Structure 1
Amino acid sequence: MSHKLRIHSPAIHYFDMVRRCNSIREAARRLNVASSAVNRQILKLEDEIGAPLFDRLPGGLRLTPAGEILARHVTVVLQDIDRVRSELDAMQGLRTGHVEIATVEGVTADLLPCVLKGMRERYPQVTIGVTLLGSQAIPEAVLSGSADLGLAFALPRCAELQQLCVGHFRLGAIVAPGHPLASQHEVSFASCAEHGLILAKSELSIHHLLAPLRRRLRQSDRPSLESGSVELAHQLARRGIGVAFQTRIGIEADLANGELKHIPLSDNGGVFSDLGLYVRGGRYLPVAVDAFARQLGEEIRLRERQELESLGN
């Protein structure tokens, strides 16, 4: 079944697209209908509800409190349509479907490509969309329905999110092979500060994991460099500019090639970052989303076992 199911009123679909685009004109363009048709459906919904759904602002439309309530309901309804379509496809022996995942940058170097390759080989007709976000933005992407799955490090507990799987990975200092710290088996955050710090900005989970250590550390003589990109941090560490921090996830090739060293932090007996896979709580997963989630879970557990074995040697 390749066509889209239209079980519910067009108003539901029109409202959702306007919510995503913050514009009636852009929503109409994406829906391939006239702007007047979209506007009529929005006005009809507002009349039935008895309250405006959008504030009309110079910069575009913004949901009102009533609109936010309706948006939560519409997200559930439309995701349920995806589930129904997926189940109908499964009954016919098909392997079609679409998956949207919001993920942090660190997993895109090796872990996620491995899973995407496996999905392509097993389910070649399943399409997948990937959006890169900071950890702090991923819960909203999942809860709003713009992503089926969220993959992030060190997310705080949220009652509205369900954790499908989690792997525990040790945070460490990232340095070039010739760095003075490179021969260490463990290292303290204070020792790293003596060589210049490459720190993560607040949108990244590493920033929050290291915050307690930064508060305990007295002002360093060397200024810190902050980056919102883990890849930039790798490149700076590779050039010997300072000490960056992350788990082994994301630098697998650099470690194998000997271009970077990962030295576990010794503070508090070790600093750990949990890599979790999340879905909106209570959601019944379509077949394609469930298959992708299972493969991701298997890969995360595999990487966790490999790290434990490497640390044990």
Structure 2
Amino acid sequence: MSRKLHIHAPAIHYFDMVRRCHSIREAARRLNVASSAVNRQILKLEDEIGAPLFDRLPGGLRLTGAGEIFARHVTVVLQDMERVRSELDALQGLRTGHVEIATIEAVTSDLLPCVLKAMRERYPDITVGVTLLGSQAIPEAVSSGAVDLGLAFALPRSADLQQVSVGHFRLGAIVSPQHPLARHQAIAFADCVEHGLIMAKSELSIHHLLAPLQRRLREPRRAVLESSSLELSRQLARRGLGVAFQTRLGIEADIAQGELRFLPLKDNGGIHSDLGLYVRTGRYLPVAVDALARQIAEEVRLREREEARLNEA
């Protein structure tokens, strides 16, 4: 079985848990120790550093400037400890560990389930935690160490993130088969305006990809609905309530069953959204994290090749 390493001072672990929970009491509960023990270690750290690490606010604890700096150090230390544990396990032929990934809603209906099924078959002792976030929130989750991997569309370049794989997917309009636009093979964004726009909110990458097209409209139109849920947008499009926008990812089954039509946008010769997999820059990946990253990259490549085949057909 996987070994647990306790080679760093308890204060490191206590600080990290308080940072995550924003509460000494909750951190103590999760660590199964007394609150006084956690508080004592935090005070000891603050005394050694010579500055408070947390602001004590009515709504909980919040990192100070010094706390932010120390948190970055702690993240590196704890993730490196996980790497050491993983490498020791690998020497014994073990494939164990836990991986946390933050991802977007679009990949949860088909792509990610396929990945996790393959992982379960290949590495039954690796466990996975999945958090759903908007694309704009994923960089912070990765760089802060809250998750090991981030899977998202169209993230801006950042010195804190390293892209380990990427797939290119066409953005399109989705409508019901009975919709007046359904007969088209591809379509311009401006042609969708008269039929009611179902738009993504700013926390989703689609919003930022379509914003330049909205600004070019001669007569700007307000969306009939704005949502941070692609699932809600998809369901409204299926019911003929407007035109939604996304890639084929997440709606493959609807397209195959004839419940939705996907119309690639032809503006600017086609608009593509890059689905990237990210880790914190400079991080050496433990065996479990590397295994999941490779499985995701493999599945994304398969989907990318399938889309290329469909575009050529």
Instruction: Say yes or no: TM over 0.5.
Output: yes
C-alpha RMSD of the superposition: 1.0
Mapped contact 2:3–2:85 kept (Cα < 8 A): no
| Within-5 A mapping of 1:229-240 | 229-240=229-240
Query: Do structure 1's residue 170 and structure 2's residue 150 form an aligned pair?
Result: no
CA distance in 2, matches of 1:83, 1:222: 50
CA distance in 2, matches of 1:89, 1:221: 58
CA distance in 1, matches of 2:3, 2:298: 32
Q: Deviations over 1:179-222 (max 9, x none)?
A: 11111111011101111100000010000000000111133567
| Within-5 A mapping of 1:175-254 | 175-219=175-219, 223-254=223-254
Mapped contact 1:170–1:273 kept (Cα < 8 A): yes
- 2:65 corresponds to: 65
Mapped contact 2:198–2:223 kept (Cα < 8 A): no
CA distance in 2, matches of 1:122, 1:160: 31
| Within-5 A mapping of 1:275-294 | 275-294=275-294
Query: Do structure 1's residue 134 and structure 2's residue 134 form an aligned pair?
Result: yes
CA distance in 2, matches of 1:110, 1:193: 30
Please say which of residues 93-102 and 233-242 is displaced more in the overlay. Answer: 93-102
Mapped contact 1:174–1:246 kept (Cα < 8 A): yes
TM-score by length of 1: 0.98
Mapped contact 1:98–1:288 kept (Cα < 8 A): yes
- 2:97 corresponds to: 97
Unaligned runs of 5+ in 1: none
Query: Do structure 1's residue 44 and structure 2's residue 44 form an aligned pair?
Result: yes
CA distance in 1, matches of 2:10, 2:77: 13
CA distance in 2, matches of 1:152, 1:2: 30
Q: Deviations over 1:151-174 (max 9, x none)?
A: 000000111100001001000000
Supply the AA of the counterpart residue of 1:138. Answer: I
Mapped contact 1:103–1:131 kept (Cα < 8 A): yes
Query: Do structure 1's residue 5 and structure 2's residue 13 form an aligned pair?
Result: no
Mapped contact 1:119–1:292 kept (Cα < 8 A): yes
Mapped contact 1:194–1:222 kept (Cα < 8 A): no
Unaligned runs of 5+ in 2: none
Q: CA deviation at 1:93?
A: 1.1
| Within-5 A mapping of 1:88-127 | 88-127=88-127
| Within-5 A mapping of 1:247-266 | 247-266=247-266
CA distance in 2, matches of 1:240, 1:216: 25
**Equivalent pairs: percent with the same residue?**
79
CA distance in 2, matches of 1:138, 1:83: 22
Residue 194 to residue 45, structure 1, CA distance change in 2 (3 Å): same
**Deviating 4+ runs (over 3 angstroms):** 218-223
CA distance in 1, matches of 2:198, 2:221: 14
Mapped contact 1:72–1:144 kept (Cα < 8 A): yes
Query: Do structure 1's residue 14 and structure 2's residue 21 form an aligned pair?
Result: no
* 1:194 partner SS: helix
Q: Deviations over 1:29-48 (max 9, x none)?
A: 00000000000000000000
Q: CA deviation at 1:224?
A: 2.6
Supply the AA of the counterpart residue of 1:224. Answer: V
Residue 155 to residue 223, structure 1, CA distance change in 2 (3 Å): closer
CA distance in 2, matches of 1:41, 1:252: 52
CA distance in 2, matches of 1:116, 1:276: 17
Task: Tell me the number of residue pairs that the alignment of Structure 1 and Structure 2 aligns.
Answer: 313
Q: CA deviation at 1:286?
A: 0.3
Q: CA deviation at 1:225?
A: 1.1
Q: Deviations over 1:65-98 (max 9, x none)?
A: 0000000000000000110111111111111111
* 2:195 partner SS: coil
Supply the AA of the counterpart residue of 1:7. Answer: I
Q: CA deviation at 1:9?
A: 0.4
- 1:143 corresponds to: 143
